Amino acid sequence: MTPALDIKGLSSGYGEALVLRDLSLMIQPGEIFALLGKNGMGKSTLLKTIMGFLPVRQGHIQLAGNRTANLPPYRMARRSVAYIPQEKALFQDLTVLENLKLVMPDTAAIKAELERTARWFPVLQKRVHQRAGTLSGGEQKMLLMVRAMLPKQKLMLIDEISEGLQPSMVDAVSDVLRTERASRDVAILLVEQNVPFVSSVADRFSVLKQGEIVASGSMADADASAVIDRQLSV
């Protein structure tokens, strides 16, 4: 099986400063892969490098067998890659519907997707004509999730989606990700610090420390949570 995402020997960073050093990981279609680590360890840098916001200094990135290193973000999006950044990257003065139409111009298709996702995010149907900037923080994250799911994606890059969410909404996001993986065979790279959330949804994990992977394993392993906790506590 051709990996959905294959990264080998990747180094990247900002200006002259390297943040990621010789990083390698592979994600299969339909797999949820969690990358954990404390703040400042390079997790968001990895997603920005995959998406083309930061240059690859060394190594390569392949998407479904095709090299993508240093393609601009708009071309990565055209290759069916969705990116949900940690910051709320919405057009605050546009309505919920207008934000969604940026990735899917078909209003009927948008309404069908809002109907499909209503069991998780019912509030968006009620606020379709409300400006995104007036939504709560959690509601804006719901909108980011739906926007990412509108096109048929091959890969989703999700940065700290559980941060600031109430437990019931974290459970809803877990259910969404499992459903997307099962129904659309999408691969998901999930950057997180929330170990219980990761344990409930991910297939495999790696822990990132100072730009390098220091532990990896299957979430099905009996000691997976202990391994993660030990690395995050040091």
Residue-wise pLDDT for 24-67, tens only, equals: 999 999 999 999 999 999 999 999 999 999 999 999 999 999 98
Domain shared by 181 and 197, yes or no: yes
Question: For 193, which DSSP code?
Answer: S
Which of these, 68, 73, 56, lies nearest to 13 by C-alpha position? 56
d(CA 137, CA 135): 7
The domain in which residue 210 lies consists of: 1-80+152-234
Query: Is pLDDT at 74 greater than 80 in this prediction?
Result: yes
Domain shared by 68 and 159, yes or no: yes
d(CA 229, CA 133): 36
166 SS3 class: coil
137 SS3 class: helix
Domain shared by 98 and 182, yes or no: no
Domain shared by 123 and 216, yes or no: no
Domain shared by 180 and 217, yes or no: yes
The pTM of this model reads: 0.93
According to the model, what pLDDT value does residue 151 have? 79
Domain shared by 54 and 90, yes or no: no
According to the model, what pLDDT value does residue 233 have? 85
Domain shared by 76 and 98, yes or no: no
Residue 150's pLDDT band (cuts 50, 70, 90): confident
Q: How does DSSP assign 25-42, residue by residue?
A: EEE-TT-EEEEE--TTSS
Give Cα 221 to chain centroid, integer Å.
Answer: 23
